[in-house]
Structure 1
C-alpha cells in the first residue's frame, strides 16, 4: 500500500482526498492547503489531518509523517515549497497543475532526474484518452477543419489549460479555441473535426470532480512501475495501451504450445 500526501484542498482537492482515502491501494496520510487555516481533518476521515503550508515545517513533518508519493492539486507556486524535500527523499510526485510557467516546467523536469514525476494539466483518464484519439485522427486526416470548444463554471477566469494543450498538440492557433463560462459546469472539452461530408466530435465531460481523483489514483499506480524520470499522462497511457495490445496479441496465438510459424516448419 502506497502512503500518499496531498497538496491542495480546494474543491478539486477535497474530491481527490475522498477518492484516495477510500481506495484500498493507498493510504492518504495527510493534506496540506495553501492558505492559512485552523487545523482540521478530511471530512469523513478524522484520522487524516489537514494543515496549512504556511504554518508547517515540511522537513520535520515528513520526518514524522513519511510518504511514498505526493499528489499536487494546489497551485503552480507550491512546488517551490515542497520540491527540495521531494528531491532529497526521492518521493514520487503526481502533479495536476495546469498553469506552470516554462521555468517551472523545467524545474519539474530537473526534479525528474532524482525521482519519478508525472505532470499533467488535466489528470482525468477520459480527457487524456480523448487527447490521444484526437492526435491520431489529426495525423490520419490533416486536411480536416478542427476546432476546440471548452466549457467550465462561470467563475473560472482563464482559458482551460486542457484546451490549450489540445490546441497545441493539434497545431491549432489560439482562435481555434472557443471558451464558454456558464453555470456550474465542472468541465467540458470537445474536439470537432469537419470533413467534406461528415463531422466527427470527440467529447469529454467531467461530471464530478472525483474524476480527478480516479485519474490521480491511476497515475500513482502506473507511475509506481516506472523508473526515475519525468512523465506525461500520454507516456503512462501509451504504456497501458501497449501492454493491452500485447495481451490481446498473445491471446490470439494458436494453443498447444506452438506459434503458427513454428508449427508450420
Structure 2
C-alpha cells in the first residue's frame, strides 16, 4: 500500500482527499495546507497547517510517506521539494501553469525521485491529449482550435489548454468563464469536408482524485525521472494493445 501525503485543501484538494482516502491501494497519512488561519476540520485524516520548509521537514520525519500529491499552487514544491528528494519521497504535482524555473527545479529533483507535473490530472483529458496528438500527426496541416471553459473566478487561461495548444501548434486558446463550470476542454479539427471534435468535461472535482490515484499506480512502476501523465498513459495503452 502506498503511503500518501496531500498538499492543498481547497476545493480541489478536499475532493481529491475524499477519493484518495477511500482508495484501498492508498494510505492517506495527512493533508497539509498553507492557510494562515487555523481551522478545525472533521476529517478521517490529519489536516495540518504548514508554513515553511522547516515545517515540512518535521512533518516528513514524524509522518513518513512514499508520495506527495500536490493540489496547492505551482510554487509550493519549492518549499518541500529538496527535503522530499533527500528522503526519497516521490512527487506528483497537479498544479497548473508551472513556470519554466519551477519545472527546471522539478527536473533537478527527478535525479533522485520520480516526479510528475501535470496541469490536469484527469484520466480523460490525458487520453484526449493522446488521441488529439495522434490525429495531428495524421493530418498536420488541418485547421485546429482549442477551447476551454472554467468557473468565473479562475483568472488565467487553463494550463491544460495551453499544453494542448503547444502540443498541437495552435497559437491562441479560446477561453470562457461561466458560472460554476468545473472544467471543459475541446479540440476541434476542421477538415475540408468533415469536422472532428474531442471534448472532455470535468463534472466534479473528484475526477482529479481518481486521476491522481491512477497516476500514482503508473508512477510506482517507474525509476527516478521526470514524467508526464499522458506519456505514461500512452505506454500503458501500447502495452495493453500488445497483450490483447
TM-score normalised to structure 1 length? 0.89
Q: What is the RMSD computed on CA atoms of the aligned residues?
A: 1.2
1:199 counterpart = 2:195: yes
Seen in structure 2, the aligned counterparts of structure 1 residues 216 and 164 have a Cα distance that, compared at 3 Å, is same
| Counterpart Cα distance in 1 of 2:210 and 2:98 | 22
The Cα shift of 1:136 comes to 0.6
| Counterpart Cα distance in 2 of 1:2 and 1:142 | 41
Post-superposition Cα deviations, 1:210-258, rounded to whole Å, max 9, x if no partner, equal 000001000111100111111001221012112101211xxxxxxxxxx
Indicate the residue corresponding to 2:49 in structure 1: 52
Post-superposition Cα deviations, 1:146-186, rounded to whole Å, max 9, x if no partner, equal 10110011111110110000000001112xx1100011100
1:235 counterpart = 2:221: no
1:22 counterpart = 2:18: no
Name structure 1 gaps, 5 residues minimum. Answer: 249-265
| Counterpart Cα distance in 2 of 1:178 and 1:138 | 19
* Aligned counterparts, 1:141-220, within 5 A: 141-174=139-172, 177-220=173-216
Aligned residues: 243
| Counterpart Cα distance in 1 of 2:97 and 2:157 | 10
| Counterpart Cα distance in 2 of 1:50 and 1:99 | 26
1:111 counterpart = 2:90: no
Displaced runs of 4 or more, over 3 A = 39-43
TM-score normalised to structure 2 length? 0.96
Name structure 2 gaps, 5 residues minimum. Answer: none
| Counterpart Cα distance in 1 of 2:191 and 2:59 | 57
Rg (Cα) greater in structure: 1
